[in-house]
């Protein structure tokens, strides 16, 4: 039997109650990945000392630059998140895929709200979180999926093929994505 693929997964997918509201997030797809892959998981927001539960953070745009901001505290977390993301991602070796939490200011992939400055005005729903942006930049040929992407059969099929086929076959529990 061949070895299992190595997948980085957002920690809030049932590993730990690390979301801003102190909850985890159950996802059948993530549970199946855990059974059929070597999983590496962590929460970038916990890693930069935001704690849990915590005040929300958001991606904002000021002077044509995206920043990571916590409205309730008035604190910017951009530099700390970028430094952590770069340092952490440099340690990952032979990663076959990333399964990230959608809409997150750290892990969302082209589905995160972008606010105009410190206002409540949303100027886009297609931003990426800061950790996810670094993943996309540093691992351009590695498949990335979020739980929101599971709604798109073709995207999910592509992820599963790229992650599992080089190890022999796609596990039967994912067959529904191919019917």
Q: Give the residue extent of every domain in the chain.
A: 6-56+76-108+132-178
Q: What is the residue-averaged pLDDT of the chain?
A: 93
The candidate with the shortest Cα–Cα distance to 41, out of 7, 17, 80, is 7
Give CA separation, 105 vs 43, 123, 148, 154, in Å: 12, 15, 15, 25
Is the predicted pLDDT of residue 15 greater than 90, yes or no? no
Q: What integer pLDDT is reported at residue 2 of this predicted model?
A: 55
Is the predicted pLDDT of residue 24 greater than 80, yes or no? no
Is the predicted pLDDT of residue 3 greater than 50, yes or no? yes
3-state secondary structure at position 133:
helix
Q: What integer pLDDT is reported at residue 1 of this predicted model?
A: 43
Return the structure tokens found at 30: 């993530």
3-state percent breakdown (helix, strand, coil) of the chain, nearest 5: 35, 25, 40
pLDDT level of residue 11 (50, 70, 90 thresholds): confident
Note the pLDDT tens digit of each residue in 32-52: 999 999 999 989 998 999 988
Note the pLDDT tens digit of each residue in 75-119: 999 999 999 999 999 999 999 999 999 999 999 999 999 999 999
Note the pLDDT tens digit of each residue in 122-141: 999 999 999 999 999 999 99
């Amino acid at each position: 039997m061949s070895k299992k693929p190595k997948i980085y997964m957002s920690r809030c997918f049932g590993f730990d109650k690390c979301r801003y509201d102190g909850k985890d997030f159950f996802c059948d797809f993530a549970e199946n990945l855990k059974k059929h892959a070597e999983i590496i998981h962590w929460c970038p927001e916990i890693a930069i000392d935001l704690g849990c539960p915590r005040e929300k953070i958001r991606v904002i745009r000021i002077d044509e630059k995206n920043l990571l901001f916590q409205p309730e505290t008035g604190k910017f977390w951009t530099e700390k998140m970028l430094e952590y993301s770069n340092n952490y991602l440099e340690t990952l070796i032979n990663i076959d895929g990333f399964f990230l939490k959608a809409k997150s200011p750290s892990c969302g992939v082209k589905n995160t709200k972008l606010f105009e400055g410190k206002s409540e005005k949303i100027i886009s729903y297609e931003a990426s979180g800061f950790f996810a942006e670094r993943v996309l930049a540093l691992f351009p040929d590695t498949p990335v999926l979020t739980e929101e992407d599971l709604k798109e059969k073709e995207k999910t099929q592509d992820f599963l093929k790229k992650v599992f086929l080089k190890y022999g076959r796609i596990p039967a529990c994912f067959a529904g994505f191919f019917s």
